[in-house]
Structure 1
């Protein structure tokens, strides 16, 4: 089994890094694969790597920077990790099990996201994440993860070039996913979640101000 694992690890690395088309092929199945990994890990915790470790390996396979054909292959999409991020965010909306939702959010931090992703994908990541935050009220750590993700992505490109129609399509898709989540979770639960998230944000702001006052007080005493 160990030898088979080593052979497969070598094969997928060479297969992925030899062609961007191969990377695209793997990218299309990345999220379904990770979903299966998360489900399996719950039953075989002591017999396999963590989902995060496996996700990092898969993300390395589809990293265009690792291509041995860079400079010789045309049509390389260096923003492919942004597509994975979008797929992960969409999957979180559609997932009802808390475990995969948590894992998918954690995977986001391991992606190589840069401005080469382009404004459309950048805006879509931001909109999807912002729409997800109110659905994560039961898990404050996950709301913080998503807020950090939004802040990181917003810094990639602050120049808006999309037309109103293009941006409207992005907003409509994110809103539709949010509405579908509401239908699954229930309108009452969705309302409670939004209220809890808003309360958490207010609580965070309240906690930040005393810290600044305390620092100021220490300086005066010195």
Structure 2
């Protein structure tokens, strides 16, 4: 699937992203803790399409920060499918490191409060929709851009499709909103996920 470029004269920002009511962090944390404790079990027979769509474009030997790493199977797949160098996986929960490949560094990290070192690429899958609009636009995106020399790639539920309206999600995203307006290109994956590619700003 080819990337669709976002024209520089697209009238940015296009529209404000849709904001949603959400459950509290206290309600969602126990769910993810239980999910992560399962460790590396439940590996997918076939990696998600966006792994090939994005990771394959990352330069060999480059460094990667996986922000909001989630279940260890995801970072392990990235390691196994790529020739990347250093990989740092970060998550709010310590449980996310259980079963993680030993070659992958792990750190408990709150992107709203803490910084990390600079990497060639930043990748995040199904994490950004858990932030409020202001957190995403004013803190998360700027911080990721400032930490990436080459690119930042976000994958998130698309528009109102499938699980996009899950109760723990705080924003809905599509190719016409203000976040996409900051990207250089995008893809819609199987009509249910959006992948956004941003040019990195780190020196």
TM superposition score normalised by structure 2: 0.29
Radius of gyration: which is bigger? 1
TM superposition score normalised by structure 1: 0.27
Between the two structures, name the one with larger relative contact order (CA 8 Å, sep ≥ 6): 2
More helix by share: 1
More strand by share: 2
